[in-house]
A and B are shown apart, each in its own frame.
Chain A
Amino acid sequence: MKMKNKSTWFSRKTLSIAATVMACGALSTGAMGAGAGLSSSEVDAPTLRRLTAQQYQRMIADLFGPDVKIAGRFEPVQRQGGLLEVGTSTVGLTSSGLEQYDAIARGVAAEALDAEHRNVLMPCKPAAENAPDQACAQQFFNFVGPHLYRRPLTTEELSVQVDLATDAAKNLKSFYRGLELSLASMLVQPQFIYRQERVVPVKGTPGRFELDAYSKASRLSFFFWDAAPDEQLLAAAKTGKLDSAKGIAQEVDRLLASPRLEDGMRAFFSDMLGFSEFDTLAKDAALYPNYTRQVAEDAREQTYRTIVNHLINEKGDYRGLFTTRKTFLTPILGSMYQVPIAHKSPNGYPETAWAAHEYPEGDPRVGILTQMSFVSLHSHPGRTSPTLRGKALREMIMCQRVPDPPGAVEFTVVQDTSNPLYKTARDRLNAHATEAMCTGCHKITDPMGLALENFDSDGAFRTTENGVTLDTSGTLDRASFVDAPSLGKAVHDNPAITMCLVNRLTSYSLGRGPAKSEAAWVKSLNEAFATQGYRVPDLMRTIATSPEFYQVSVSQPE
């Protein structure tokens, strides 16, 4: 097919997921070196990305109001390359999944156009409420269409929605019911559910292609705000502002300066840290009666607030997330952490209010690894797991894949917490790791996990297990530590964590892992990150102002 000088969709080259199969003795270097963790030899052409549940909800709230309900469930996305956002590039929809989308769409459309909301939403009033009004319907879809599809509707698309509204209004003898059905139909169409990107030739560089302006606007807004482009960004796309580096830089600065950056930061770290698992996390009520659903939700929120405060408010070094003593607590979390948080109701702030807290020197709660969210998420329902915690640290924060355990393994000694010979998890794991097939992997996961043994499965602090004082010493890639705070320092100093962050953030923004041909770009991002003092918003700016962020391969146009 000959390239035409207009926006066109292209096929995406098959993503060759590098299956990193290795023995634990030779741990994958993941993000350890330049070019590592790259997924395919060429930059992929853009692909469809299905909106996440959070993005869907945010779009509806932004356009129709935060009180419009989303009643239904979204089909799950499979994590790829460590991120759900990458999984959205391959996931499809089943008929039962679409049935859910349809139910949600009908609910949203009905509420958005009910008597209460329509007065705010509608740009016009129909001539009569019991009959079609094509002109008013057209105004309506001209207004909502670009927000839902993240670009202006084509003439054909606009005409379809107006005709649908007209026919339905005629049949149902109601302008608003007709509009409602037509609006609901937009919400089940792929143009809404999937983020589609279009490419155009790069001006002045024959043979090279980049995203068109509206696709750039979408990439930017979902990256920084986890939301669809706002009016200003759509206007920037329309006026050609996003065609220039200067214009992009101005918009990036605006996105970074907005309070909505917090939404984007939360969305990224939620994905990177696997916080969607909180939705199904449960602790045994008999063993951990204090670990309620509210505690779990507050624990997740505590980590979000710590991250946002450190990275955005204080413009802190990313590595400092593992050594910071600053956090935020609710009264209920305070009781779990044994930190008194004042209740000031009824005349002060309510009991659920968050209070800033800084742990004193010498306190074991240092960095996000010691927070309840991390230690409770990576534990069994009824006991801790140094292996799960160490594995999570290696995989989520250092981008190093730890293989699954082999099939025929004798675990009995690990699990029997009542065995008088092995009173602590360290004793049990040492006995277990005498099996040759287990030793390699446990060496790379357990030491860090054992350093967190002071924190029980529900996050509560403890110094002993079965009456024996816990030994929390160990090494991480030759750096020694004696307890959780010094583990935090070892993690802080490990170069894998910053390279991993660059890899994850780049993958998150692109919806795919960086390609081998982008190795030089990734290397330059790592260098820039270091120069910028490992400040994440600065790294986001560097990514989003790079030409590579918008360039695509079009070797197989269709």
Chain B
Amino acid sequence: MTYSLNRRSILRGMMGGTAVAVGLPLLDIFLDSNGEALADGGPLPKCFVSWFQGLGYAPGHWEPKTVGPNYDFGVHLRALTPLKSKINIFSGMKIYMDSFPANAHSSGPQGILQGGLADPSLPSLDQIIADAVGTRTRFRSMEVACDGSTEAYSRRSATAINAPENDPAKLYARIFGPDFKDPNAADFTPDPVVMARKSVLSTIRDKREKLVKHIGAADKARMDEHFTALRALENRLAIELEKPAPLEACAIPQAVETPVKGRLITEARTCNQLMAALFAHAMACGQTHVGHLSFGGSLSNLRRAGSQQTFHMFSHEEQIDPALGYQKEFEWFSNQATEALLDFARAFESYKEGKGNLLDRSLIMYSTDSGYAKTHSLENLPMMTIGSAGGALKTGIHVQAKGDTVTRVGLTVQQAMGVSVGDWGTQSNNTSKTITEIVA
């Protein structure tokens, strides 16, 4: 299997196991002397990625022993050491159940990403952030899954669930296909077909009241979603009709042509690397500022070739190795996920923008579904952030909470990304307490 990826070879090194710097030329005329702001003084936009991997880690083996800066990773997170200074770790966080039943593997993502268990119709964190920072990009957000799943953890509401893209080749075509406008191209001519399409959509929207009459109350919300989506499409066309602001670090990757789909862990790793590169390119080229990647779902069926057991099966079925104190096979899978998270973050770090890199203005949030997958525990859920969101957060810190709600992380992340919000979460998971230890 060969992957012809990208003229700047962002992945060439990664495919061999190590990330390489992109080393793109930069015309300083467009950026300030630090390379971290546009020439007009405005900072480069912040980017956010919600990165999910189900089943978490073995409790007692991932948490740093010390609190604050200069922590040491627990054994299961050691693969992240190269980026330690950029990573915040939160331990001791939990989801309060209130009166709701624990739903094996779905309560975890709901609690962390939707702010509690009381209302499954609430939008997920990535979509809240997209509302704040994604309205002036071609794509409000991008959602992908690397385990072949048709569902991930990004949603507008209970009935409007973002279907993830599984195939990097298709994601490539969506972003860098014929409708893509190179922000650094010298010439720009608005496409008359795009103008006509936008005009058509505007008319449909204007005629909405006459076209969809007598809609009942229960279906009105679904129609609202539909017209919101039409408006987003119209907005995208409007953006395509404007000359994009130059982004000199923007590099157009070569087409990803070979489909990558599968449930083997090796296939998921490759998918994650390709998706990471595409996210990085898309964000550097101003196509979107928000993404969600599900490396493996809560019921992760990721497995090794030739093995009867999946990651999920191991989480429940494997006996704890008495010498190690954790499940050995499970640890192998969770370590693969950790390395995949590192691959993802390094794709951003290696994407140079002036004197800095894309990770400097980004925030990657890791979340999972359980504190102990074997028992579906919602206590001590592993949580991490990578990147400072353009300096909004301090990094390299371990915060040890004592049973605080996970929504403190979500609230802090929202504020770091510029969402105007004072408190977040439902019922006992509602909080107005940000994590002050990491707020810059």
Contact = CB atoms under 8 A, between A and B. Distances in A.
Interface residues of B, number: 70
Contacts, number: 192
Contact of A94 (B104, B161, B236, B310): B161
Contact of A98 (B139, B230, B301, B303): B230
B229 to A, nearest CB: 4
B253 interface: no
B43 to A, nearest CB: 26
Interface stretch (A4-12, A62-70, A225-233): A4-12
Interface string B184-210: 000000001101110111011001001
B196 A181 contact: yes
B306 interface: yes
A287 to B, nearest CB: 7
Interface in A154-203: 156-157, 160, 163-164, 167-168, 171-172, 177-178, 181-182, 184-185, 188-191, 193-194
Given A99-B232, A558-B214, 20 more contacts: A12-B218, A12-B219, A13-B218, A47-B219, A75-B163, A78-B161, A96-B143, A97-B163, A163-B203, A189-B211, A190-B212, A191-B211, A282-B262, A284-B303, A284-B306, A285-B305, A380-B313, A382-B309, A404-B104, A411-B317
B318 interface: yes
A123 interface: no
Contacts of A357: none
A340 B128 CA distance: 59
Given A284-B307, A408-B375, A12 B193 contact: no
A409 B316 contact: yes
B184 to A, nearest CB: 25
Contact of B160 (A93, A178, A188): A93
A185 to B, nearest CB: 5
Interface in A1-36: 8-14
A95 B127 CA distance: 11
Contacts of A558: 214-217
A450 B393 CA distance: 57
Contacts of B163: 73-76, 94, 96-97, 100
A182 B155 CA distance: 30
A92 B309 CA distance: 35
B216 A383 contact: no
A364 interface: no
A93 B229 contact: yes
Contact of A102 (B143, B228, B233): B233
Contacts of B313: 380, 411, 415
B104 A412 contact: no
A415 to B, nearest CB: 5
A90 interface: yes
Contact of A286 (B212, B218, B306): B306
By DSSP majority rule, is chain B's interface helix, strand, loop, or mixed? Answer: mixed
A48 B308 contact: no
Nearest to B370: A407
Contacts of B402: none
B140 interface: yes
A385 to B, nearest CB: 11
Interface in A130-173: 156-157, 160, 163-164, 167-168, 171-172
Interface of B: 102, 104, 139-143, 148-151, 155-157, 159-163, 174, 192-193, 195-197, 199-201, 203-204, 207, 210-219, 221-223, 225-226, 228-230, 232-233, 236, 262-263, 301, 303, 305-310, 313, 316-319, 374-376
A344 to B, nearest CB: 34
Interface in A79-132: 90-100, 102
A440 interface: no
B211 A157 contact: yes
22 contacts: A11-B217, A12-B216, A76-B163, A92-B157, A94-B229, A95-B156, A96-B139, A96-B163, A98-B229, A99-B229, A156-B207, A156-B211, A160-B207, A171-B195, A184-B200, A189-B211, A381-B301, A382-B307, A383-B308, A411-B313, A412-B317, A415-B309
Interface of A: 8-14, 45, 47-48, 73-76, 78, 90-100, 102, 156-157, 160, 163-164, 167-168, 171-172, 177-178, 181-182, 184-185, 188-191, 193-194, 280, 282, 284-287, 380-383, 404, 407-409, 411-412, 414-415, 417, 556, 558
A85 to B, nearest CB: 15
Given A76-B151, A287-B306, A95 B195 contact: no
B162 A185 contact: no
Given A12-B218, A156-B210, A287-B308, A93 B226 contact: yes
Given A157-B211, A284-B305, A407-B102, A97 B200 contact: no
A286 B305 contact: yes
Contact of A160 (B211, B216, B221, B230): B211
A156 B217 CA distance: 23
A168 B194 CA distance: 11
B316 A382 contact: no
Nearest to A383: B308
